[in-house]
Structure 1
Amino acid sequence: MNLIEAYVYEVTRRLPEKSRNDIALELQSTIEDMLPDDFSENEVMDVLSKLGDPARLAASYRDTPMHLIGPKVYDAYLWTMKMIIPWAILITVLVHVVETIVLFSGEESILSVVIKSFGIIIANVIHVLIQTFFWVTIVFIFIERVGLAKSSGSITKHGTEWSPEQLKHVQVISKKKVIPRSEVIFGLVWTAIWVVLYFNADHLAGVYRSIDGDGLQMVMPALNQSVLMSYLPIVLLFAALEIGMALYKFKERQWTMRLVTINAVIKVFSLIVFIVIASNPALINEAMIPYLADILEINLTSVNNFTDWAVWTVVAIIVVTVFIEVYDSYRKAKA
């Protein structure tokens, strides 16, 4: 690992993107000027020790000062907030969405359920943000006032004072290859949601009609739940693989050819399973076809043709989406 490169990266990643390149060149030049011609690793570490914690050096380049919390713990405080807040929000949303799906019986108007859920989610997210901000801030104030009272250095996200030795563990990641934390979290949340939808498809997907002006209510399920449950073992296997893939992304933090290959294999095989399930003629509730033909006053053949068209349109959209995702990940890994 090039210690100078790692140090410059640790400083500039905390700065606005528009100023990173200029500051990186300036800082690299400053470090090289402080070193002799034939410098050793120990001499580099001495120079970096004089420059100090990259977080505090980055703060000196900012236009706005850090007054939210003391500089000793500011970098670790921000890192903790960035780690906790997205998870807290998405877990809050996920819990309520899953709970709503599981408890939905089709008797209540969909519109009223959506409006009620939207209001509850906003209220819960605000409450979680307030609690998270309050308790994390309290903990870091305690750490700074008591735990670091006798320390002159600043604490890092690793819970220790900064030293050049930590640069040996820095992973310099190209912006084009980086996997955003939000992408990983969204992947986990989406997997949980579609698994819940799969288990409850018979009372979520169907024909809805307004009854006595009370809003839309389900009158006929569209899918045969027993057919879906017959594929349950392999569906749960792929759900587990997707969760494992998301955790692997979280660990690697960047697209590599190994990661792209594993992701592509999982996506292609899950796509094959999806097509097999969609191709099962018993998947569509057989009672729905004559019901639609009756209320729409059209023949059964037209309803069957429309149903087949709808199913295969969804399949085509998902196939295209998967291949775009796989290609995009390959392009990032090659960047």
Structure 2
Amino acid sequence: MVTISLISVIANEVFHNNGEQMISAVIQQIVGEGIGTVSAYSEFWTPDDLKRIKYLDREKAFTKSEIFGGLLWTAVWGSVYFNASKLIRVYVKGVNGFEFSYPVFNEEVLHSYWPLVVLVMILEFAVAIFKWMKQQWTLAVAIFNLAVHTVSSVVLVVLLRNPNLFSEQFRLNMRDLRRSILTRDSGKLEFKAK
């Protein structure tokens, strides 16, 4: 209630300022009215009121940065996933710098799994919101977190088991690279009989 009152006082002063008042006068008006509004809504408390406050164990509590970091990580990996063919590429250096590149992943295959990936993203956002609401580890949070990570792992395994996940050019170049390494190393492994 106090926050809403303070926001309404600030909004009122910002929108009704006609430009004739100095900024310092506007700030003084906001602070003066804000303190008056806040103290009008404040109630006195007693030590018995502390019994109603929920105790948060510091070892079990979630930090805001942990929750925000989870949301940010989900947004980042989701963006990279849906733009992988443009972001994750192999660049080949030529005489004039990088002459051409090719994607590592097959875009059609990646996009064929979009419903599963969106499901995982929604579940991860839901876990972050659930953590924010509960504020600490509980059995319900742990079970929900386990379920989301299990679903994420299953989706990842399904995705990685697709033989067409990598682009054709990437697979051919990796095969050629493997052959060149094996033929180069096989020349070093000569044994001489005594």
Do structure 1's residue 246 and structure 2's residue 133 form an aligned pair? Answer: no
Classify 1:255/1:299 alpha carbon distance in 2 versus 1 (closer, same or farther; 3 Å): same
Deviation string 1:96-150 (CA, Å, 9 cap, x unpaired) is xxxxxxxxxxxxxxxxxxxxxxxxxxxxxxxxxxxxxxxxxx9986543123248
Which residue is 1:299 aligned to? Answer: 179
Do structure 1's residue 145 and structure 2's residue 27 form an aligned pair? Answer: no
Provide the rounded CA distance (Å) in 2 between the counterparts of 1:253 and 1:172.
10
Identity %: 30
Which residue is 2:153 aligned to? Answer: 271
RMSD: 3.2
Which residue is 2:55 aligned to? Answer: 172
Provide the rounded CA distance (Å) in 2 between the counterparts of 1:139 and 1:251.
36
Provide the rounded CA distance (Å) in 1 between the counterparts of 2:50 and 2:31.
24
Normalising by structure 1, we get a TM-score of 0.41
Q: How many residues align?
A: 158
Which residue is 1:190 aligned to? Answer: 73
1:76-115 map, 5 Å? none
Provide the rounded CA distance (Å) in 1 between the counterparts of 2:129 and 2:78.
18
Letter in 2 for 1:186: G
Q: CA deviation at 1:292?
A: 4.2
Provide the rounded CA distance (Å) in 2 between the counterparts of 1:139 and 1:206.
55
Counterpart of 1:283 (choices 160, 165, 179) is: 165
Which residue is 2:15 aligned to? Answer: none
Normalising by structure 2, we get a TM-score of 0.68
Which residue is 2:42 aligned to? Answer: 161
Higher relative contact order (CA 8 A, sep 6+): 2
- Whether the 8 Å CA contact 1:178–1:254 is kept in 2: the answer is yes
Which residue is 1:219 aligned to? Answer: 101
Q: CA deviation at 1:206?
A: 2.2
Structure 1 spans left out of the alignment, 5+ residues:
1-72, 77-137, 303-335
Counterpart of 1:234 (choices 113, 116, 120) is: 116
Provide the rounded CA distance (Å) in 2 between the counterparts of 1:150 and 1:222.
60
Classify 1:225/1:150 alpha carbon distance in 2 versus 1 (closer, same or farther; 3 Å): closer
Letter in 1 for 2:79: V
Structure 2 spans left out of the alignment, 5+ residues:
4-24, 183-194
Classify 1:146/1:262 alpha carbon distance in 2 versus 1 (closer, same or farther; 3 Å): same
Give secondary structure in 1 for the equivalent of 2:168: coil
Which residue is 1:204 aligned to? Answer: 87
Provide the rounded CA distance (Å) in 1 between the counterparts of 2:123 and 2:27.
37
Q: CA deviation at 1:266?
A: 0.9
Give secondary structure in 2 for the equivalent of 1:219: strand
Classify 1:266/1:227 alpha carbon distance in 2 versus 1 (closer, same or farther; 3 Å): same
